[in-house]
């Protein structure tokens, strides 16, 4: 006969067991809290779905809260952006207004006025919106594997628990969940002849001059930060991806300034290529951009026009294939490169005194990223894998055939690639290649074009309950336009609504009727008409 205590323990186990399972289940499971990820989670939850948002690191919000504080919407047609993207910015403005601080712009501005904010404000707004939507947010959930039953994902296994659901969203920059689920993907740059893309493949000469210097040391070996010694013909396909970097939150205000940490194992000889770039082209050759933010802060960004900047050329090449420890090592290498570049710019005796002073006066912000030593925890992964989905977009879908019958977003940022490789030519000269900008003629923005729903859906025979709003289906050139926070947020919003509807109706993501999806998106402020078709 069981004792009273034993009976109580059995009853407690019976009550608690279903709860433990329920905590690992949601109608919609979103992997990675990037701009697309947190918008997808909020949108799905507002549709009435239960939602779990899994973040592999400890940082919520991706680049939106990780230092990218100078919104890329200045290069987009803002009248084509709505939904959660606009609400997020409205709430940032309201946050400042509640503290009697006025931003130098209005959120309804349709011109190229710069929209800016501080990282900690972006984080506060992001977390509030997730909390209000009752999204379950779990950090430290690095993806380990995926279980499938035929074409259906049944379980997502992380380093810290497994999770089940009806529909899954891969919002990672890298396309990790997509790849683990067996969905077809590609990486690198297509050749210019494959799809007739003028900006495809190896690309040099548009944004960068050839530096008239030697890229070799006295023994004939390539200097540090040179990635190769052979330059393939323009338009050649390869596996190269554009540089990663950190977006730094900086200040000159002594009351809020924290000195930059010293780089580990700094060796002045490692920066000889930077020294030569500066000798050849001055500050136009080496340095980084600083964009003004509220409260005397700056957003430090990789300079697309300089030969050497915050982007560590070649440093992210193995990121997508690396495991968690491997990515942490690459992250740390980028941090040390960033600190090393700053140390070079602020101290190297070969540089003019005014240049060293310009950088030496900058420091981290005392009130930003306090739990991370004021250094951003978010490496800006500008591109990773790309799905080969139900519809594969090319440059022709940007500038020749922009209209689609199943539009879920309008992208209008110029196709914008940063550096990919840095080649020391054996006959003399150094070429830093890969950077380009593809603007609409006569405009200050890119070509407006539709993102079709089919571009975020895998082929049905590969996976029936997965949406991919970041590593979507398209070429390198397409991703170079899509890869900015306004577009990611807009696509993520639409993906969240679609996921909730598919979960509630019990249909595959491919079989969700667009005729039903479109009015739901428009009701929530998504703007799906191309500008010339707008009423």
Residues 155 and 214 in one domain: no
Mean pLDDT, range 421-444, rounded to an integer: 91
CA angle, 526 as apex, 391 and 184 as ends, to 5°? 20
Residues 227 and 373 in one domain: yes
Residue 475 sits in a domain whose CATH number is: 3.50.50.60
Confidence band of 43 (pLDDT split at 50, 70, 90): very high
Residues 457 and 377 in one domain: no
Residue 45's alpha-carbon distances to 2, 54, 167, 314, in angstroms, are 44, 14, 13, 39
Residues 35 and 121 in one domain: yes
pLDDT digits (tens, 9 = 90+) for 102-130: 888 888 767 778 999 999 999 999 999 99
Residues 434 and 470 in one domain: no
Let me know if residue 91 belongs to a domain: yes
Mean pLDDT, range 32-60, rounded to an integer: 98
Let me know if residue 224 belongs to a domain: yes
* pLDDT exceeds cutoff 70 at 22: no
Residues contacting 429, CB < 8 A, separation 6+: 210, 211, 212, 213, 215
| Torsion region of 522: left, alpha or beta (phi above 0 gives left; psi -120 to 50 gives alpha) | alpha
Of 301, 304, 307, which Cα lies nearest the Cα of 423?
A: 307
Residues 451 and 438 in one domain: no
What is the chain's mean pLDDT, rounded?
A: 93
Helix axes 485-505, 514-523, angle to 10 degrees: 130
Mean pLDDT, range 257-271, rounded to an integer: 97
Residues 182 and 296 in one domain: no
Tokens of 497: 């609504």
Tokens of 207: 């944004």
Of 318, 490, 315, which Cα lies nearest the Cα of 407?
A: 490
Of 347, 333, 175, 370, which Cα lies nearest the Cα of 245?
A: 333
Range of the domain at 528: 26-188+447-533
Whole-prediction pTM: 0.94
Tokens of 456: 């975020």
Let me know if residue 195 belongs to a domain: no
- Contact in structure between 423 and 231 (CB atoms under 8 Å): yes
Residues 70 and 146 in one domain: yes
- Contact in structure between 454 and 391 (CB atoms under 8 Å): yes
Residues 53 and 122 in one domain: yes
Residues 303 and 423 in one domain: yes
Residues 276 and 343 in one domain: yes
Let me know if residue 2 belongs to a domain: no
pLDDT digits (tens, 9 = 90+) for 315-367: 999 999 999 999 999 999 999 999 999 999 999 999 999 999 999 999 999 99
* pLDDT exceeds cutoff 80 at 443: no
Let me know if residue 343 belongs to a domain: yes
Let me know if residue 83 belongs to a domain: yes
> Three-class SS of residue 438?
strand
Q: Into how many domains does the chain fold?
A: 2
Burial 7-44 (b: 16+ CB within 10 A, else e): eeeeeeeeeeeeeeeeebebbbbbbbbbbbbbbbbbbb
Residues 222 and 342 in one domain: yes
Let me know if residue 317 belongs to a domain: yes
- Contact in structure between 439 and 476 (CB atoms under 8 Å): no
pLDDT digits (tens, 9 = 90+) for 509-527: 999 999 999 999 999 999 9
């Amino acid at each position: 006969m069981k004792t009273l205590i034993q009976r109580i323990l059995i009853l407690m186990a019976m009550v608690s067991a279903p709860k433990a399972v329920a905590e690992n289940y949601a109608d919609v499971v979103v992997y990675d809290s990037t701009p697309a990820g947190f918008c997808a989670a909020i949108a799905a939850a507002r549709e009435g779905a239960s939602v779990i948002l899994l973040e592999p690191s400890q940082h919520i919000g991706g680049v939106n809260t990780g230092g990218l504080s100078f919104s890329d919407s200045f290069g987009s047609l803002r009248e084509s952006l709505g939904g959660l993207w606009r609400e997020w910015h409205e709430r940032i403005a309201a946050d400042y207004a509640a503290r009697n601080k006025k931003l130098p712009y209005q959120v309804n501005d349709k011109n190229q006025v710069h929209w800016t904010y501080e990282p900690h404000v972006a984080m506060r707004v992001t977390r509030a919106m997730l909390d209000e939507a009752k999204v379950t947010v779990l950090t430290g959930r690095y993806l380990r594997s995926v279980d499938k039953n035929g074409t259906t994902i049944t379980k997502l296994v992380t380093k810290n628990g497994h999770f089940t659901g009806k529909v899954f969203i891969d919002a990672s920059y890298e396309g990790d969940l997509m790849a683990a689920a067996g969905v077809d993907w590609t990486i690198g740059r297509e050749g210019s002849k494959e799809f007739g893309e003028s900006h495809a493949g190896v690309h040099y000469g548009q944004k960068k001059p050839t530096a008239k210097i030697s890229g070799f040391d006295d023994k004939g070996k390539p200097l540090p930060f040179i990635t190769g010694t052979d330059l393939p013909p323009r338009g050649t396909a390869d596996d190269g991806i554009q540089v990663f970097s950190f977006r730094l939150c900086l200040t000159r205000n002594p009351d809020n300034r924290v000195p930059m940490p010293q780089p580990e194992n700094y060796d002045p000889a490692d920066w000889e290529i930077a020294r030569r770039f500066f000798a050849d082209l001055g500050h136009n050759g080496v340095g980084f951009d600083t964009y003004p933010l509220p409260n005397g802060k700056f957003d430090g960004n990789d300079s697309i026009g300089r030969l050497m900047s915050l982007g560590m050329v070649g440093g992210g090449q193995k990121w997508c294939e690396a495991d968690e420890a491997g990515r942490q090592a690459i992250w740390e290498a980028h941090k040390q490169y960033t600190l090393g570049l700053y140390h070079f710019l602020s101290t190297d005796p070969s540089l003019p005194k005014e240049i060293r002073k310009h950088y030496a006066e900058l420091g981290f912000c005392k009130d930003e990223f306090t739990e991370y030593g004021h250094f951003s925890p978010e490496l800006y992964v500008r591109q990773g894998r790309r799905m080969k989905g139900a519809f594969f977009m090319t440059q022709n879908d940007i500038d020749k055939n922009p209209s689609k019958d199943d539009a879920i977003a309008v992208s209008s940022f110029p196709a914008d690639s940063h550096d990919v490789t840095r080649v020391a030519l054996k006959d003399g000269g150094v070429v830093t290649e890969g950077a380009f900008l593809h603007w609409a003629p006569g405009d200050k923005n890119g070509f407006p074009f539709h993102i079709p729903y089919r571009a975020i859906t895998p082929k049905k025979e590969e996976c029936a309950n997965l949406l991919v709003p970041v590593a979507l289906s398209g070429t390198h050139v397409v991703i170079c336009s899509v890869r900015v926070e306004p577009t990611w947020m807009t696509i993520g919003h639409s993906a969240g609504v679609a996921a909730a509807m598919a979960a509630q109706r019990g249909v595959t993501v491919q079989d969700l009727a667009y005729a039903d999806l479109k009015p739901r998106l428009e009701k929530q402020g998504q703007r799906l008409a191309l500008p010339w078709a707008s009423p």
